Structure 1
Amino acid sequence: MLRISGIGLAVLALGATGAGWWVYQHLNGNINSVSLDGKGGTEKADAFGRTPINILVIGSDGRTSSEDCRLGGGCAQTGVQSESGSNADVEMVVHISADRSNATVMSIPRDTMTRIPACSDAKSGRATGGYYGQINSALQYGPACQVATVHQLTGIPIDHFVKLDFAGVVKMSDAVGGVSVCVSDDVYDTYSHLKLAKGAHTLKGVAALEFVRSRHGFGDGSDLGRTGTQHLFLSAVIRKFKSAGTLTDPTAVYGLADAATKALTVDDALGSVKKLVGLALDVNKVPAHRMTFTTMPTAPDPANRDRVVVGAGAKELFAAVAGDRSLTAGASGKSGATGPSAKATADAPAVPASRIAVTVENGTALTGRASAVARALTDQGFSPATTTRNAPASADSTSLTYGPGQQGEARTAAEALGLPTSHLRQGTARGLILVVGGDWPSGTTYPDNSPSASADSGTAVPNAHAQTADQAKTCAPVSPYRTVKLDGIPMTPSQAYTAAKGVPDSDA
């Protein structure tokens, strides 16, 4: 997701500087794409005709080049691998809501045991009839197999995938000028080679790769702890992309776009700069405080203590993502409804607000509710002919009634107010009448009162370790356990940092 956003913003900036057609064609030629063959399912549009986007972001552990071997190690015996020798070291389902108001990034631990479906990879020729195994092994049968496996496990339709290798992480962190992170204590992961003193750091190149690969330095010293630090890292990249001045230097912008397009493998539907730019614009609409990072709840695998299986709460999390429900407090939830009225409104073209007058009725016992909502509408450009009055009777639920042929007007008004289409009614008389009910006691944007949508991100999905991308002061928690070894002696990452005085820090 972040690499796509970077590409899109960078290409737009380059276009504004007149970099020209050559740059566009060059970046287009960098992109490597493969087909998903429909194995991830298909997203359905909401009642307004808007479609969510689900992307599987894959971090490959493959040593498919000499540079990957240098960065990741492990090539002494096997040498450079083919693509079919890769596993999915990182798997994140990125969900962008249909209304582009929120996003969820859900990590799936690579040690998860699940059923791998029957797959065949046209590129490598490898095929499997299906088996029970570690989820990350599906990548050996191609990215489409990895997508199919995640779709089968979660029930979430996966429209796209983005794959990045070791070298790609290094290039991207350098291209953005480094990524700011914080660690709660001194840490030395003798496996990933990450060595940092307590506090804040700006990581580039290899240091950034060491941070996102560290699974012994943080949390409980497992892959579950690593997903948390990856979320912190990606949140920092998001904030950097959104900060003022990040993409104002044309030279730096070109470097970012060039590095990003060279680092990625994507599905065919994202296989051009134009398509990536469109997706980037959608991603960029989501504010940082509405981007929630979370991890699939797990339980120990009864057959192998070093592996995990789907845990309590995971099905609820999968359903929230598949149902387009935000995990952020105050989210509008899925704005969809069934029935002919909702479908007709969704199919109708929106009408400019300036051409729409709404009669706002106060159906509550609270003074001034109709005036507050009407003022919010006129502030958004609705007709000055918008009026207010008391409803003929109290109303428990808010409703918007529209006349024959006024579906487009109703759609525009509902979108402006955040009102789900389940609250829209077609009447027999011309005009739009909004009755503000007892379910909308304050504010000028309709609140979603369903428990799953209004719950705080930390409680909506128990055991999912949810956090939002705007939490800039959060430090990665260094593991208090003896998860590393130095000279054959087990010790904590902080003890290893103190003992390894001769080893330079990663950001030195």
Structure 2
Amino acid sequence: MTDVSHRRGGSATGEGTTVPGPRRARRAAQGAGRGGRQAGIRPGAEGRRAAGRGRARPRKRSAAKIAAITTSTAVLVVAGVGAALYEHLNGNINGLPLIGGGSEKADAFGRTPINILMLGSDGRDNAADCKIGGDCGGGENADVEMLVHVSADRSNATVMSVPRDTKTELPTCTDPTTHQTMQAHVDRINSTLQYGPSCTAAAVHQLTGIPVDHFMKVDFSGVVNMSDAIGGVPVCVSNNVYDPYSHLKLSKGTHTLKGMSALEFLRSRHGFGDGSDLGRTVSQHIFLSSMIRTLKSAGTLTDPTALYGLANAATKALTVDTGLDSIPKLLGLATDLNKVPSNRITFATMQTLQDPRDSSAVVPSSAAQNLFNALADDQSLSNGSGGKSSTATATPSPAQPAVPDLQITVQVNNGSGVTGRASQIAQDLIDQGFSPNSGSANAPVPASATSVHYAPGRQAEAQTVARALQIPASRLQQDSSVSQVTVVVGSDWSSGSTFPSSGGGSSRPAPADAKAAVAGANSSTADQSKQCAQVSTFDTVSVGGVPMTPTQAYADSPNVPNSAP
């Protein structure tokens, strides 16, 4: 199975610092055909945007485009087109290089997982997008970021949303199109799209430790065309809802959303949950789950005319990496995705806390590391209850919270008989991001087998260390005589910074705690057809200048037509 070291890269230039991005420069480099204005950079524009991203401010940016991506891949599975139509569809696709996303490791059977970063841009660089709404003054941020993990054996998948206002250390990266460079600094992760999708992929890889193999970005107006082509997506809302900012207005119950109504639903951040982007990710998951069920249902895509319209809209909407920039490549990916049954597709949102320095931003909570570890270890999270994956080979304690690598101090004891082994491994752990207080010493007695010892209540920390060193789960031992995670290097590990797979016992690294991975992540599976989007009970909207709940706004706006019957 895949094992990924959680290395930390880049240094911050200062909390909240914003590096001005080459917004219009990219569109100039891509050519007038993409509708960009040939204008200069507007320094500081992102800083002005970020300053006003509190919950009370209306957002007129799309959080919808991600739905189109899933449609585009699913439809291509069944698309049978002639040569002329094939060339037409192939010519629709725009491909860009992917740099800095990391790389996968094959399992014992030579199979590798697939991790696809799905992006929805808030750019308004053409007349169609501006007509729909939002800021049309230029600029591009990642309004939606979802990492889709498809297991190496193609039996399960996980879709993890990374909230767009997540503040984290961003890596140095260069836009392969404009050649503009972003220096490492701390900012919202969605700002990286100013330097191209490849930069966002590098940032997500640095944040999570999960390799990003591909990216797919969809444009704004494509959502409208594609939701029309699919014939609509049924969604349920828990109560009457009116969000004046996205213009979504629905009565309690189930509605089939097409075109603009689908867009309004996916854009609405004030209508659901706590009225923030976190609540919106959950309603997006409900929409995508329903769309997957619709696409997989019998007869949904049997009409050749509708099928071509959907494929045409899908390919026009996509910007992908060069590993996916043709119909055959997309077909191969779509075939893999189509193998996963709905009840084995898990949706989750990265666990976060409010940024203590910026109330309009969030930071990953310590619990997010368990979710990252599970995906990096290729574990299924699709049993619905959030329990441990059946592929795991150890029994982790579900009650133990995740601890950031930087807070884990490791003692490495050398029992191998090879001088310097403990200090080498301790330094490697520090380089990977573990506590700089980690140290090394000689073991009291020689050891023939490498092992990892942990005090009661510290199993999750030991698992994290074992994964970083690729030590099998069978080598973990609870030991009341140690106060911190202690690695004893045996004679079976005489060289190298990772444990050799032939070193005896199971070759599978220590598994992540799969139950903890989905704790607090609002997880669900795509087969949950009775799930409704929970309308906010907070005063997240206003009508006539009066703050109120979305349900109260519905009652107070009888002259506003519903988005769907």
Post-superposition CA distance 1:117-139 (Å, at most 9, x none): 11222323432212211110000
Structure 2 residue 212 is matched with structure 1 residue 158? yes
Contact 2:76 2:330 in 1 (8 A): no
Post-superposition CA distance 1:182-219 (Å, at most 9, x none): 00001111111111111100111111111111110000
Distance in 1 (alpha carbons) for counterparts of 2:254 and 2:158: 26
Structure 2 residue 257 is matched with structure 1 residue 206? no
> Cα distance, 1:334 vs. partner?
6.7
Structure 2 residue 535 is matched with structure 1 residue 478? yes
Distance in 2 (alpha carbons) for counterparts of 1:44 and 1:3: 29
> Cα distance, 1:488 vs. partner?
1.0
Query: TM-score w.r.t. structure 1 length?
Result: 0.73
Q: Please name the residue that 2:89 is paired with.
A: 27
Distance in 1 (alpha carbons) for counterparts of 2:517 and 2:175: 38
1:55-454 aligned at under 5 Å gives the runs 55-75=116-136, 78=137, 81=138, 85-329=139-383, 331-333=389-391, 452=513
Query: Which of 489, 498, 502 pairs up with 2:559?
Result: 502
Note closer, same or farther for the CA distance 1:3–1:206 as it changes in structure 2 (3 Å cut). closer
Post-superposition CA distance 1:406-450 (Å, at most 9, x none): xxxxxxxxxxxxxxx99999xxxxxxxxxxxxxxxxxxxxxxx97
Note closer, same or farther for the CA distance 1:96–1:2 as it changes in structure 2 (3 Å cut). farther
Moved over 6 A (4+): 421-425
Q: Please name the residue that 1:49 is paired with.
A: 110
Q: Please name the residue that 1:461 is paired with.
A: 518
Q: What is the RMSD computed on CA atoms of the aligned residues?
A: 2.4
Distance in 1 (alpha carbons) for counterparts of 2:148 and 2:215: 9
Note closer, same or farther for the CA distance 1:193–1:275 as it changes in structure 2 (3 Å cut). same
> Cα distance, 1:14 vs. partner?
4.0
Q: Which amino acid in structure 1 is aligned with residue 132 of structure 2?
A: L
> Cα distance, 1:168 vs. partner?
1.6
Note closer, same or farther for the CA distance 1:187–1:27 as it changes in structure 2 (3 Å cut). same
Note closer, same or farther for the CA distance 1:45–1:3 as it changes in structure 2 (3 Å cut). farther
Distance in 1 (alpha carbons) for counterparts of 2:525 and 2:237: 18
Q: Which amino acid in structure 2 is aligned with residue 26 of structure 1?
A: H
Aligned length, in residue pairs: 387
Distance in 2 (alpha carbons) for counterparts of 1:165 and 1:494: 31
Q: Which amino acid in structure 2 is aligned with residue 59 of structure 1?
A: G
Distance in 1 (alpha carbons) for counterparts of 2:308 and 2:101: 33
> Cα distance, 1:155 vs. partner?
0.5
Distance in 2 (alpha carbons) for counterparts of 1:144 and 1:451: 28
Distance in 1 (alpha carbons) for counterparts of 2:70 and 2:191: 28
Q: Please name the residue that 1:391 is paired with.
A: none
Distance in 1 (alpha carbons) for counterparts of 2:200 and 2:357: 23
> Cα distance, 1:6 vs. partner?
4.0
Note closer, same or farther for the CA distance 1:139–1:231 as it changes in structure 2 (3 Å cut). same
Distance in 2 (alpha carbons) for counterparts of 1:305 and 1:9: 38
Q: Secondary structure at the match of 2:165?
A: coil
Distance in 2 (alpha carbons) for counterparts of 1:451 and 1:109: 22
> Cα distance, 1:163 vs. partner?
0.4
Contact 1:324 1:333 in 2 (8 A): no
- Structure with bigger helix share is 1
Q: Which amino acid in structure 1 is aligned with residue 354 of structure 2?
A: P
> Cα distance, 1:102 vs. partner?
0.4
Contact 1:240 1:246 in 2 (8 A): yes
Contact 2:68 2:223 in 1 (8 A): no
Q: Secondary structure at the match of 2:290?
A: helix
Contact 1:14 1:253 in 2 (8 A): yes
Note closer, same or farther for the CA distance 1:503–1:123 as it changes in structure 2 (3 Å cut). same
Q: Secondary structure at the match of 1:269?
A: coil
Post-superposition CA distance 1:450-475 (Å, at most 9, x none): 7845x4xxx64211111000001100
Distance in 2 (alpha carbons) for counterparts of 1:481 and 1:232: 21
Post-superposition CA distance 1:76-124 (Å, at most 9, x none): xx2xx2xxx2000000000000000100000011111011211222323
> Cα distance, 1:3 vs. partner?
4.8
Q: Which amino acid in structure 2 is aligned with residue 99 of structure 1?
A: D
Q: Which amino acid in structure 2 is aligned with residue 46 of structure 1?
A: D
Note closer, same or farther for the CA distance 1:175–1:305 as it changes in structure 2 (3 Å cut). same
> Cα distance, 1:247 vs. partner?
1.1
Distance in 1 (alpha carbons) for counterparts of 2:366 and 2:146: 19
Q: Which amino acid in structure 2 is aligned with residue 269 of structure 1?
A: G
> Cα distance, 1:171 vs. partner?
1.5
> Cα distance, 1:332 vs. partner?
4.0
Structure 2 unpaired stretches of 5+: 1-65, 394-473, 475-501
Contact 2:374 2:517 in 1 (8 A): no
> Cα distance, 1:261 vs. partner?
0.2
Distance in 1 (alpha carbons) for counterparts of 2:182 and 2:379: 35
Distance in 2 (alpha carbons) for counterparts of 1:253 and 1:28: 15
Contact 2:370 2:517 in 1 (8 A): no
> Cα distance, 1:308 vs. partner?
0.6
Q: Which amino acid in structure 2 is aligned with residue 214 of structure 1?
A: S
Contact 1:212 1:230 in 2 (8 A): yes
Note closer, same or farther for the CA distance 1:423–1:102 as it changes in structure 2 (3 Å cut). farther
Q: Secondary structure at the match of 2:271?
A: coil
Structure 1 unpaired stretches of 5+: 336-396, 398-420, 426-448
